[in-house]
């Protein structure tokens, strides 16, 4: 079946450090891939997405590239800030009607000043 | 623009009591609607989704139920809450797509923190 695997958290970094959160997926066909972010006490917000192989999604300094050959969609940011502290979810969308989003378990990021 | 409202924001209920969480979407028609649960320290679990009024699909068997009495209203209910029902409940919507087309993205509500004591 379709699934998303993320690196285990929590991840703790100092401000201005480089961030990588690994995400790999298993899916039939060609899913779209997403990163969602959840700030404390809030719902999820779309951070970035990529809809086909080799696409790069980017937003707020975060980037992720859709790698079909390695079935990966790793999230990166060159210099994290305290305000980036949140839980990050990798997700895929299948080509199906109705229920078609599959989320990873989430990775908690804490950025220290 | 589209907005999604979910309430209440927090809820503390005793074991065995009923539950009703409501979610409404504005600014769009015929959305797909979803209920997710996020248990403490865990990821998102899809509970129910709906592609139309009265059409509910359950992903996980449990003592919860969902209803969609109107196009943009989605309700999560329980007759008797269990301790294990505690968690953060998220309502979400997406644009309804034809079969075999990819959904662009999900839009989430702000969530309800449910504590069952």
DSSP A6-63: E--S-EEEETT--EEE-EEEE-SS--EEEEEEE-TTS-EEEEEEE-STT-EEEETTEE
CA distance A46 to B117: 33
Closest chain B residue to A4 measured between Cα atoms?
A: B43
Question: Could you say which of B97, B105, B109 has the minimum Cβ distance to residue A34?
Answer: B105
- Which residues does chain B have within 8 Å of residue A49's beta carbon, measured at their own beta carbons? 104-105
CA distance B112 to B87: 8
pLDDT at A33 over 70: yes
pLDDT at A35 over 60: yes
Nearest to A52 by CA among A73, A26, A38, A36: A73
A58 alpha-carbon distance from chain centroid: 11
CA distance B20 to B8: 9
pLDDT at A42: 84
pLDDT at A28 over 90: no
Mean pLDDT of chain A: 91
Do residues B110 and B9 lie in contact, with contact meaning Cβ atoms separated by under 8 Å? yes
Do residues A51 and B103 lie in contact, with contact meaning Cβ atoms separated by under 8 Å? no
pLDDT at A95: 60
Query: Residue A105 is encoded by which pair of tokens?
Result: 């378990």
Closest chain A residue to B99 measured between Cα atoms?
A: A97
Give the residue-averaged pLDDT of A11-20: 97
- Which residues does chain A have within 8 Å of residue B101's beta carbon, measured at their own beta carbons? 95
pLDDT at A25 over 70: yes
Q: Phi and psi for A97 in degrees, rounded to 5?
A: -90, 135
The residues near B57 (Cβ < 8 Å, ≥ 6 apart) are A98, A99, B48, B49, B50, B51
Give the residue-averaged pLDDT of A73-89: 96
pLDDT at A8 over 90: no
Q: Phi and psi for B6 in degrees, rounded to 5?
A: -135, 135
Sheet bearing A62-65, strands edge to edge: A19-21, A75-77, A62-65, A56-59
How would residue A40 be classed by pLDDT, with cut points 50, 70 and 90?
Answer: confident
- Alpha-carbon gap: B88 to the closest alpha carbon of chain A (Å): 9
How would residue A99 be classed by pLDDT, with cut points 50, 70 and 90?
Answer: low
User: pLDDT of chain B along its 117 residues, tens only?
Assistant: 878 999 999 999 999 999 999 999 999 888 989 999 987 666 788 899 898 899 998 887 678 999 999 999 999 999 999 999 999 999 999 887 665 555 567 889 999 999 999
User: Does A105 touch chain B if contact means CB atoms closer than 8 Å?
Assistant: yes
């Amino acid at each position: 079946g379709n699934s998303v695997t993320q690196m285990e958290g929590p991840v703790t970094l100092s401000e201005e450090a480089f961030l990588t959160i690994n995400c790999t997926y298993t899916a039939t066909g060609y899913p779209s891939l997403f990163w969602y972010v959840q700030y404390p006490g809030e719902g999820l917000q779309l951070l970035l997405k990529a809809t086909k192989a080799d696409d790069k999604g980017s937003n707020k300094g975060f980037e992720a590239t859709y790698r079909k050959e390695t079935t990966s969609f790793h999230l990166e940011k060159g210099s994290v800030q305290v305000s980036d502290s949140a839980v990050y979810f990798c997700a895929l969308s299948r080509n199906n009607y109705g229920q078609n989003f599959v989320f990873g378990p989430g990775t908690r990021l804490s950025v220290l000043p | 623009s589209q907005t999604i409202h979910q309430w209440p924001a927090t809820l503390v209920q005793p074991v065995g009591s009923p539950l009703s969480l409501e979610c409404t979407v504005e600014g769009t028609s015929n959305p797909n609607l979803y209920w997710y649960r996020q248990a403490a320290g865990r990821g998102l679990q899809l509970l129910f989704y709906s592609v139309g009024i009265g059409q509910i699909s359950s992903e996980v068997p449990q003592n919860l139920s969902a209803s969609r009495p109107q196009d943009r209203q989605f309700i999560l209910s329980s007759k008797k809450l269990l301790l294990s029902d505690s968690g953060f409940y998220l309502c979400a919507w997406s644009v309804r797509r034809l079969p075999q087309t990819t959904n662009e993205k999900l839009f989430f509500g702000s969530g309800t923190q449910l504590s069952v004591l």
